[in-house]
Every structure is written in C-alpha cells, then in structure tokens.
Amino acid sequence: MRDRPDDFDEGLLRPALHAYGIEAATLEYAPVGFGDFHWIAGGRGGRRWFVTVADVRRQTYEGLRLAMETAATLREEAGLEFVVAPLRDSGRAPLRRLDRHRYAMSVYPYENGTAGDFGDELPPTERARVIDLLAALHATPPPLSTPDRPLELPGRAILEQALHDDATLPWLGGPYAEPAQELIASRADLLRGRLADFDRLADKPGEPVVTHGEPHPGNLLRAPGDRLLLLDWDTVGMAAPERDLWLVARDDDDLARYTEATGRPVNRQTLALYRLRWALNDVAEFVEWFRSPHGRTPDAEQSWTGLTGTLDDLAA
C-alpha cells in the first residue's frame, strides 16, 4: 500500500521482532503491493528483513495463519525453494498478532531482486519457467494446514447489495463514493449478466491441488543466480489448477507444457471461470473500498483506476 495505515502504531513492530531474534536498528516503510502494509527492518551488520502487517478483518487471523503455515511447510518440508515463506518466531509460529483484534505480522528474509507489476506481459521463456514452478507446486502433496479455496465468489454479497441499492441514498465514504455509485448503476446490467455467466460456468471443477492463487507478474521476483521466486502466499489453498493457470498461460504451447509436466489436461472453461471470478471479485472489493471512509489518496486513485478498468474488461 502507498498510504500508511492511519490507526496503526508502528511502535508495536520493534518489540514484536524480538520474538524472531531481530533487533531492528532501522524500520523503513515500503510503499509496495496492495492490501497489506510493509516495512524493511535493518539490523546491525547490514542484514535486512521484509515485514508484512495484515489487517485480519480482511481475512480471519486463523485463515491467514493456515496460509502462512502452509507456505512455510512447502518451503521447509516439501523443499520448494521458489516459495518465499515467512520465518517462524520463537514459538515456531509463522504469524504473530500485534494487537487483540486487527493487525498481525509476518517476517521474511529480505530477497534482493526485481519484482514485476500485475499487468506485465511475460515473455514466452519466462512464462514457461512459471508454468514449471506451478506444475511442481500442483504436484506437491498438500500440507495438513492447506486451506480450502471454494469456488464461490467471495464478494458476491457486497456486489449484489450494491446492485440493489436505492439510488436516492448516496454512498458517503469519501470523494470517490458518489462517482463509484453512479458508475456501478450505469453498469448494472453488465454486472448482472456477468454474474449469470459465472453461475453458468461454475460446473464442478476437477480434482483440487495446492494452488498459489495469485501467481501474476507482481508476485514474481527475479533474484540473483537466475532464480525465479513466488511471493505473497496469503491466498494459497486447495483448488482446481486453473485457479493459477489463467493468470499465466497465454497460448496452446503454455497449456501443452503444463499437461506434459503434470499429466493433467487443462479445462478451458474453468480457465474462463477463474478469470471472470477474479474480475467480479475485484469489482466487489473496489465497491467496498468506496463505500467505506476514504480520502483522495494514491491508493484511492489506484482503486478508481482499477474499478473503471475492470468494468471495461468485463464489457469487452
């Protein structure tokens, strides 16, 4: 996130890092990603760590703990070296509460490298490498902690409520609330149609595997030694392999490569289903954002661009 959390006490971080044996000489806010908040902790001698603070109202603490435990187990026990997994604290926990109800922290070894952006288009050679990583992940026996990731649309209730809102009762969250309400009202028929498409496509998918959930270029890190790493494992879980593949595969060669590596044919209908699911849930998250208190900040501007762009994509 580019915006720092207004109601978070950064003074909680240094004491919490002690549980990892880290004495942070410096803490620098890192305005990257979207959803969580990040800092770079520096220790004496130049060593660094990447610190992530999550608002566990967005997903439950227990759900996030299971995801972090799964990522750590995939790295430690399954030997998947491309998994950038959280470190464990003195109690062997991969996630640590910072307060009673809202914020939790995970800590990662700092990896030098170059990360991509969500909308980047990978060249075919790099797509092939990502598909190979996904094939290895999908072939790995799931750790006991692996959450299920149901096919249902998480933000459906929010979206349907917005589509049924009384237009005479304005949204009052902030400067983007009224424009967002008007935009959703103008695209109501489109959204209802895409929800119907989702229901039509949501046939029973194939056998679930361990999926990352968001293996897009923004979660790839090109590290020294020609290593390609996968970041952000908070959405890891059991689902059809197409949950990952729609974000990576672009042509028949990509799909054939995956099938050759795994013996699994790729279901194109399920690819389309997960693509549509992503877009509809993005719209729901942006609606929730603009109906909630917000200002005219870089993150709000990015959300507005995301909402308009996603609706245009749904209309295409």
pLDDT in tens, 178-217: 999 999 999 999 999 999 999 999 877 778 999 999 999 9
Q: Is the pLDDT of residue 151 over 70?
A: yes
Residue 63's identity, in one-letter code, is G
DSSP state letter for 206: -
Mean pLDDT across the stretch 302-310? 92
Q: What is the mean pLDDT of residues 55-73?
A: 92
> What is the per-residue pLDDT for 34?
67
**pLDDT level of residue 98 (50, 70, 90 thresholds):** very high
State phi, psi for 292 to the nearest 5 degrees.
-100, 165
As given in the structure block, the two tokens for residue 39 are 């800092």
User: What is the percentage of the chain residues whose pLDDT exceeds 90?
Assistant: 70
Beta strands in the chain, from DSSP E residues, in sequence order? 26-30, 37-42, 48-55, 96-97, 103-109, 114-115, 209-211, 220-223, 227-230, 237-239
* pLDDT over threshold 80, residue 168: no
Count CB neighbours of 301 within 10 A.
Answer: 13
- With a cut of 80, say whether residue 221 has pLDDT above it: yes
Whether pTM > 0.85 for this model: the answer is yes
> Higher-confidence residue: 293 or 237?
237
Residue 257 has pLDDT above 90, yes or no: yes
DSSP-derived letter for residue 148 is B
Q: Domain residue spans in the chain?
A: 1-110
Q: Is the pLDDT of residue 167 over 70?
A: no
Q: Do 77 and 83 form a contact (C-beta atoms < 8 A)?
A: no
* 30 pLDDT more than 90: no
In terms of pLDDT, which residue wins out, 230 or 168? 230
The H or E element containing residue 65 is helix 61-76
* From the candidate CATH numbers 3.40.50.2300, 3.40.50.300, 3.20.20.80, 3.30.200.20, the one assigned to the domain spanning 1-110: 3.30.200.20
d(CA 123, CA 126): 5
Taking 80 as the threshold, does the pLDDT of residue 252 lie above it?
A: yes
Work out the end-to-end distance of the chain between its first and last CA atoms, rounded to an integer number of angstroms: 29
The band of 33, judged by pLDDT with boundaries at 50, 70 and 90, is low
